[in-house]
Structure 1
Amino acid sequence: MEGSIQTLRFRAEEILEELTLDEKIGMIHGNELFRTKGVERLGIPPLTMSDGPCGVRADFQPSQWIPVGNTDDYVTYIPCNSAIAATWNRKLSERAGSVLGSEARGRGKDVILAPGINLKRTPLCGRNFEYYSEDPFLTSQLASEYVKGIQQWDVAACLKHFALNNQESGRLGVDEEIDDDVLNDLYLKVFKDVIDAANPYSVMSAYNKVKGELCSESKFLLNETLREKWGYEGFVVSDWGAVKDTKKAAEAAIDCEMSVRDNFDEYKFANPLKKMIEDGEIDEALIDEKVIHILILMLRLNMLDEDRLIRKDAPYNSFAARADVLDIARESVVLLKNEDNTLPLIRPMIKDKKILVVGENANRTHSNAGGSAEIKALYEITPLMGLKARVGGGTRFDYLRGYASALNVEMEAGGTNWQALSLQNSGGDMADKEKADAELKAYRKKLRQEVLDVCEDYDHVIFVGGLNHDIDSEGVDRADIDLPYEQNELLEALLEKRPDTVVAMIGGGCVDMTRWLSKCKALLYMYYNGMEGGNALAEVIVGDISPSGHLPETFYCKKVDCSGISVGDFGDKELVHYREGFFIGYRHTCKENIPVQFPFGYGLSYSKFEISDISYNSGRQMVKLNLTNTSDIDGSELIQVYRLPDEQVPYFRLVGFEKTYLKSNSTITVEIPVLDETGIGKYAVGINALDLQEVK
Structure 2
Amino acid sequence: MNNTENISIENKIEELLKKMTLEEKVGLIHGNGLFRTEGVERLGIPALKMSDGPMGVRREFPNDNWNSLDYSDDYVTYLPSNTALAATWNRDLAYESGKVLGAEARGRGKDIILAPGINIVRSPLCGRNFEYMSEDPYLAGAMAVPYIKGVQENHVAACVKHFALNNQETERLNVNVEVDERALREIYLPAFEAAVKEGKSYTIMSAYNKFRGTYCSHSNYLLDDILKGEWGYDGVVISDWGAVHDTYEAANCALDIEMNVTNNFDEYFLAKPLIEAVKAGKVDEKVIDEKARRILRLMHRINIFEEGRYSGAYNTAEHREKTLRTAREAIVLLKNDNSVLPLDKNKIKTLAVIGENAEKLHALGGGSAEIKALYEISPLLGLKMKLGGNVEVKYAKGYSENEAQAQQLLEEALDIAEKADAVIFVGGLTHKLDTEGLDKPDLKLPYGQDVLIEKLLQANENTVIVMLSGTPVDMGAWLEKASAVVQTWYNGMEGGYALAEVLLGDVNPSGKLPVTFPKRLEDSPAHSIGEFPGRKDVHYREGIFVGYRHFSTNNVEPLFWFGHGLSYTTFEYNNIKLTKEEREDNIRISVCVDIKNTGNRDGAEVVQLYIRDVEASVVRPVKELKGFQKLYLKSGESSTAELVLDKTALAFYNEIKHCWQVEAGKFEILIGSSSEDIRQRAIFTVDKDLNYI
TM-score (norm 2): 0.93
Letter in 1 for 2:476: T
SS at 1:644 equivalent: strand
Change beyond 3 A, Cα 1:384–1:678: closer
SS at 2:648 equivalent: coil
SS at 1:681 equivalent: strand
Deviation at 1:348, TM superposition (A): 2.3
SS at 1:76 equivalent: coil
Q: Find the counterpart in structure 1 of residue 334 from structure 2.
A: 336
Q: Is 1:496 matched up with 2:464?
A: no
Cα distance between partner residues in 2 of 1:445 and 1:55: 38
Deviation at 1:349, TM superposition (A): 2.5
Task: Check whether the contact 1:2–1:300 (CA below 8 A) recurs between aligned residues.
Answer: no
Change beyond 3 A, Cα 1:643–1:7: farther
Q: Find the counterpart in structure 2 of residue 293 from structure 1.
A: 294
Task: Check whether the contact 1:386–1:537 (CA below 8 A) recurs between aligned residues.
Answer: yes
Q: Find the counterpart in structure 2 of residue 157 from structure 1.
A: 158
1:270-289 aligned within 5 A: 270-289=271-290
SS at 2:442 equivalent: coil
Task: Check whether the contact 1:655–1:675 (CA below 8 A) recurs between aligned residues.
Answer: no
Q: Find the counterpart in structure 1 of residue 672 from structure 2.
A: 686
Q: Find the counterpart in structure 2 of residue 435 from structure 1.
A: none
Q: Find the counterpart in structure 1 of residue 203 from structure 2.
A: 202
Deviation at 1:187, TM superposition (A): 0.9
Change beyond 3 A, Cα 1:666–1:252: same
Cα distance between partner residues in 1 of 2:308 and 2:553: 54
Cα distance between partner residues in 2 of 1:540 and 1:678: 35
Deviation at 1:678, TM superposition (A): 6.1
- The one of 386, 395, 402 equivalent to 1:390 is 386
- The one of 321, 324, 333 equivalent to 1:323 is 321
Q: Find the counterpart in structure 2 of residue 627 from structure 1.
A: 595
Deviation at 1:572, TM superposition (A): 4.4
- The one of 431, 434, 437 equivalent to 1:475 is 437
Letter in 1 for 2:681: E
Cα distance between partner residues in 2 of 1:240 and 1:385: 37
Cα distance between partner residues in 2 of 1:274 and 1:499: 70
Q: Is 1:695 matched up with 2:651?
A: no
1:417-456 aligned within 5 A: 440=404, 443-456=405-418
Deviation at 1:546, TM superposition (A): 0.6
Task: Check whether the contact 1:655–1:676 (CA below 8 A) recurs between aligned residues.
Answer: no
Deviation at 1:6, TM superposition (A): 5.7
Cα distance between partner residues in 2 of 1:96 and 1:508: 18
Task: Report the aligned-residue RMSD.
Answer: 1.3
1:178-189 aligned within 5 A: 178-189=179-190
Task: Check whether the contact 1:656–1:675 (CA below 8 A) recurs between aligned residues.
Answer: no
1:405-554 aligned within 5 A: 405-407=401-403, 440=404, 443-554=405-516
Change beyond 3 A, Cα 1:244–1:641: same
TM-score (norm 1): 0.93
Letter in 2 for 1:695: A
Q: Is 1:614 matched up with 2:612?
A: no
The range that moved more, 287-296 or 676-685, is 676-685
Deviations 1:323-371 (A, max 9, x none): 1010000001000111111111123232xx1001000100001110001
1:77-116 aligned within 5 A: 77-116=78-117
Cα distance between partner residues in 2 of 1:293 and 1:6: 14
Cα distance between partner residues in 1 of 2:90 and 2:425: 28
Letter in 1 for 2:326: I
SS at 1:160 equivalent: strand
Q: Is 1:660 matched up with 2:622?
A: no
Q: Find the counterpart in structure 2 of residue 677 from structure 1.
A: 648
Q: Find the counterpart in structure 1 of residue 37 from structure 2.
A: 36
1:227-246 aligned within 5 A: 227-246=228-247
Count of aligned pairs between the two proteins: 657
Deviations 1:395-444 (A, max 9, x none): 0001000111123xxxxxxxxxxxxxxxxxxxxxxxxxxxxxxxx3xx12
Cα distance between partner residues in 2 of 1:367 and 1:165: 23
Q: Find the counterpart in structure 2 of residue 637 from structure 1.
A: 605
SS at 2:604 equivalent: strand
Deviations 1:545-587 (A, max 9, x none): 1100000000001111111111011214111001111100000
SS at 2:189 equivalent: helix
Task: Check whether the contact 2:353–2:395 (CA below 8 A) recurs between aligned residues.
Answer: yes
Deviation at 1:627, TM superposition (A): 1.1
Deviation at 1:689, TM superposition (A): 3.4
Deviation at 1:647, TM superposition (A): 3.6
Deviation at 1:230, TM superposition (A): 1.6
Letter in 2 for 1:321: H
Q: Is 1:358 matched up with 2:328?
A: no
Cα distance between partner residues in 2 of 1:85 and 1:497: 35
Q: Is 1:217 matched up with 2:224?
A: no
Task: Check whether the contact 2:610–2:670 (CA below 8 A) recurs between aligned residues.
Answer: yes
Task: Check whether the contact 2:352–2:422 (CA below 8 A) recurs between aligned residues.
Answer: yes
Q: Which runs of 5+ in 2 are unaligned?
A: 582-587, 651-665, 684-693
Change beyond 3 A, Cα 1:330–1:569: same
Cα distance between partner residues in 1 of 2:459 and 2:553: 39
Deviations 1:639-679 (A, max 9, x none): 11100243436211001110010111121222122355365
Q: Find the counterpart in structure 2 of residue 259 from structure 1.
A: 260
Q: Is 1:141 matched up with 2:150?
A: no
Change beyond 3 A, Cα 1:549–1:518: same
Cα distance between partner residues in 2 of 1:386 and 1:2: 49
Deviation at 1:220, TM superposition (A): 1.2
Task: Check whether the contact 2:589–2:645 (CA below 8 A) recurs between aligned residues.
Answer: yes
Cα distance between partner residues in 2 of 1:8 and 1:586: 47
Q: Is 1:348 matched up with 2:346?
A: yes
